[in-house]
Amino acid sequence: MSTRGPAVSAAVFVIAGLACQEAGAALAVVLFDRVGPLGMVMLRLVFSAVILLLIARPRLRGHTAAAWRAVVGFGAVLALMNSLFYLALERLPLGVTVTIEVLGPLTLSIVAARRASAWLWAGLALAGVAALGGGGWDRLDLLGVAFALGAAASWALYILASARVGAAVPRLDGLAWAMTVGALLALPLGVADAGSALLRPDLVALGAGVAVLSSTIPYTLELLALRRLPASAFAILMSLAPATAALAGWIFLAQGMSWLETVGIALVIAASVGAIRAAGRHAPDAAEPLG
């Protein structure tokens, strides 16, 4: 029986998931003026946690102390990664932010490859980043770049933490509890940032929409795709995130890209695909973050 049909449908699931995720990020940017980036992080994590708790109905008992430490660490990474991502989005175009963020899992793939050829992809990624700053890094906002680099490092930590929790806690229980921990950690700064906007049902509802678009729908579609595709092919498709982010920024936020920035995004995508292929089965699964 031909596997072409399932593979094509899986690719459609991945691309649709990326589109929903970046549309959610664009909606979050629109809400920054009303709830702030940290308020948006809090709303997204809280609603994502509620949805996961309802779906997974995780068990509280039966987990070791080591498993709970892994869950708490994973939750802290989730809160940090999302906070840095949204703080970067406040200052940088969506496509540029996601392109810089991709450097985290890209670096992890290069290290995991343990091959001299992997450094070719590292050089290509470096050239892409240099192209992104071709118009002057000060134009991109240096603090925004720092936040995006922090989000990139957090994404690499997310991949490692996710694998650790997945091995220690069955089903979706670990993710559900980690998301709850992340939501609790994000709550104080989020409430302070959003302030009285949290009393507006329409803004809270839009925050729930961001959670559904950026987390619930992409996560479901990715699970469906992984049933039809090998992890390596899935990771290559996920490397298209910078392109879908740039497109979402252009459509929803009127964020234009210079030709040099477009070249930079293309180089980072090419480096991601090459690094994933070089890493092969030795690379950790590049789980998609909530960004």
Number of CB atoms found within 10 A of residue 52's CB: 24
Q: What is the pTM of this model?
A: 0.84
* Residue range 141-179, pLDDT digits in tens: 889 999 999 999 998 898 888 888 888 887 788 888 999
pLDDT tens digits, residue range 215-268? 888 877 876 776 677 766 777 777 788 888 888 888 889 888 788 888 888 888
Q: Where are the domains of the chain?
A: 4-282
Largest CA distance in the chain: 58
Mean pLDDT of all residues belonging to the chain: 83
Distance CA 287, CA 241 (A): 12
pLDDT reported for residue 135: 55
pLDDT at res. 4:
61
What is the reported pLDDT for 167?
82
pLDDT over 90 (residue 277): no
H-type alpha helices, the chain: 4-35, 37-56, 65-89, 94-101, 103-113, 118-132, 137-140, 142-168, 173-194, 201-211, 217-226, 231-238, 241-253, 259-279
Dihedral of alpha carbons 124, 246, 15, 157, sign: positive
pLDDT above 90 (res 71)? yes
